[in-house]
Chain A
Amino acid sequence: MSSKRRVSPLTVILYAVMVILTIILLFPFFYMISKSLMTSEEVIQPIPQFLPKKPQFVNYISLFSTNDYLKGLLNTLLVVCWNMFFVPLSAGIIAFSFAKLEWKGRRLMFALMLGTMMLPGAITQVPLYSLYFEFGWIDTLWPFIIPNLFGGGAVYIFLLTQFMRGIPKEMDNAAKIDGASALRRFFAITFPLSKAILVYVIINVFLAYWGDYFGPLMYMHRSDAPKTFALVLFEKSLDENAAMDMANIRMAGGVFMSIFPAVLFALFQKQLIDGVMVGSVKG
Chain B
Amino acid sequence: MIMEKKSIQLRKFFKTNYTGWLFNLPLGIGLLVFTFIPVICSFVYSFMWKYDGFTFDAWNFKNYIQMFTADWDEVSRSFLNTVLYAIISIPLGLITSYFLALLVNTGLKGVKAFRVLYYLPVTIPAVVGGLLWKDMFGQTYGIFNRILGVVGISPFPFFSNAKTSLFSVFVMNLWSVGGGMILWLSAFKNIDKQYYEAVQIEGGGRWAGFLHITIPMSTPMIFYNVIMSTIGSLQYNGTLTFAPNDGRGWDDSLYMYAVKIYQDAIKSGNIGYGSALAWVFLIVIALITVILFKTSKWVFYGEEA
Contacts and interface: CB of A to CB of B under 8 A. Distances in A.
A247 B31 contact: no
Contacts of B189: 277
A15 interface: yes
Contacts of A266: 116
Query: Which of A11, A234, A240 has the most chain B CB atoms closer than 10 A to its own CB?
Result: A234
A264 to B, nearest CB: 8
B24 interface: yes
A133 B24 CA distance: 28
Contacts of B120: 25-26, 29, 262, 265
A173 interface: no
A46 B138 CA distance: 12
Contacts, number: 253
Interface string A138-154: 00000000010111000
Nearest to A186: B23
A257 B130 CA distance: 13
A113 B26 CA distance: 12
A126 B130 contact: no
Contacts of B135: 35, 247, 251
A257 B125 contact: yes
A21 B175 CA distance: 10
B123 interface: yes
A222 interface: no
Query: Which of B38, B128, B224 has the most chain A CB atoms closer than 10 A to its own CB?
Result: B128
Contact of A127 (B29, B41, B262): B41
Interface in B190-227: 190, 220-221, 223-225, 227
Nearest to B232: A120
Contacts of A104: 13, 16-17, 20
Contact-residue size bin, chain A (C-beta under 8 Å from the other chain) = 35 or more
Provide the main secondary structure of the chain A interface.
helix
Interface string B122-161: 0111111011111110101111001000000000000000
Contact of A122 (B33, B175, B258): B258
Interface residues of B, number: 93
B141 A48 contact: yes
Interface in A126-183: 126-131, 133, 147, 149-151, 157, 182
By Cβ-Cβ distance, the 5 closest A-B pairs, closest first, are A103-B20, A150-B30, A283-B224, A211-B125, A97-B23
Given A101-B20, A105-B21, 11 more contacts: A48-B143, A103-B16, A116-B35, A120-B285, A123-B42, A124-B35, A126-B42, A126-B265, A127-B39, A150-B30, A280-B183
Interface of A: 11, 14-15, 17-18, 21-22, 25-26, 28-29, 31-32, 35, 46-48, 50, 90, 93-94, 96-98, 101-106, 109, 112-113, 116, 118-131, 133, 147, 149-151, 157, 182, 186, 207, 210-211, 213-214, 217-218, 230, 233-234, 237, 240, 247, 250-251, 254, 257-258, 261-262, 264-266, 269, 273, 276-277, 280, 282-283
